[in-house]
Amino acid sequence: MELMHRTSSSLGNAFDHAWTRLTDRIAGLNDDEYLWEPVSGCWSIRRDDTGRWRIEGTIGNAASPTPAPMTTIAWRLGHLAGIALGGFADRWFGPGTLRVEDIEFPGTAAEVPLFCDRNYRSWREGIASVAEEVWWEPLGSKWGPYAESNHADLALHVLDEVVHHGAEVGVLRDLYLRRTELG
């Protein structure tokens, strides 16, 4: 039984460490900072005609602009928690029916901790339940061009998302504090 969850445990520990760094870094986030656009043309989350908060852009597909636009903290946290963690958890451990249009993105900084926590828990509880042999199996056809990649590859991709978007959020927070010095 101990061998069964060795990979789940190691990945879980890495996720928890990276996630704690991110959640510690966003403590005290306020609305102005959350939606701050350091340059014009940033992608963010914005209200649509119905008043619902929607994420802008399409990073990761053929229609993505090059170079990718600068994004706000709101966009980065929405992409990370809603799409990467929540979306991949739904696809792997749930019914696989979640669409970006279905995600309730937080419109205020006060809503961020619950949004992030809910999606992180879904992902984290899912990977904790994976049997050792499943990690090395191909993802399968529902993962499109990544069908031949294994589940460990997917988890490492999501871990990379947590680490790099977490670091970007940290840099944006540092810049926001010094925004009057930016020129």
The tens digit of pLDDT for each residue in 92-110 reads: 999 999 999 999 999 999 9
Radius of gyration of the chain (CA): 17
Q: What is the pLDDT of residues 149-168, one digit of tens each?
A: 999 999 999 999 999 999 99
The residue that leads in pLDDT, 1 or 158, is 158
- Per-residue burial over 91-116, b if 16 or more Cβ lie within 10 Å, else e, is bbeeeeebeeeebebbbebeebeebb
Q: Report the domain count for the chain.
A: 1
Number of neighbours of residue 55 by Cβ within 10 angstroms: 22
Residue 61, in any domain of the structure: no
Q: Is residue 45 part of a domain?
A: yes
Domain residues for the domain of 125 are: 3-51+67-181
Q: 33 in a domain, yes or no?
A: yes
CATH number of domain containing 129: 1.20.120.450
Task: Please tell me whether the peptide bond between 106 and the residue prior to it is cis, using omega within 30 degrees of 0.
Answer: no
pTM over 0.85: yes
Task: Write down the mean pLDDT value for the chain.
Answer: 93
Whether the pLDDT of residue 183 is over 80: the answer is: no
Cα distance between residue 139 and residue 107, in whole Å:
34
Domain contains 18: yes
